[in-house]
Amino acid sequence: MRLEHSSKEELKRVSLTLPNSLHDEFEEIRQRVHLNKVEAIREAVNLWIQKQLAEEMIEGYKSMWNEDLEMLKEFEHVDREIW
């Protein structure tokens, strides 16, 4: 899932500072995949956002699973009575 933005959307300028080793690795890979710096950084930000959202969803599902498990335990005696 890629987060797309309208070409008419207002843009924000961002400046960043990277350690030399990270910059060198970024440049090597960026050139290998034929992206300019802006495209590569936008792709990286989009991927980071997707990862964060996925992790939030996972935590939400885990929380719901724990709540469901607790509810199952609460009604376990009812199941035993029926059987």
pLDDT of residue 4: 63
Q: Which two tokens stand for residue 71?
A: 């509810």
Per-residue CA distances from 4 to 8, 33, 39 (Å):
12, 20, 12
* Residue 13 maps to a domain: no
* Residue 41 maps to a domain: yes
* Residue 59 maps to a domain: yes
Q: What average pLDDT values come out for the chain (83 residues) when binned by 10 residues? A: 69 95 97 96 96 93 84 79 69
* Residue 15 maps to a domain: no
CB 26 within 8 A of CB 40: yes
Structural domain for 64, as ranges: 20-82
pLDDT of residue 31: 96
Total domain count, the chain? 1
pLDDT of residue 5: 67
* Residue 38 maps to a domain: yes
pLDDT of residue 83: 65
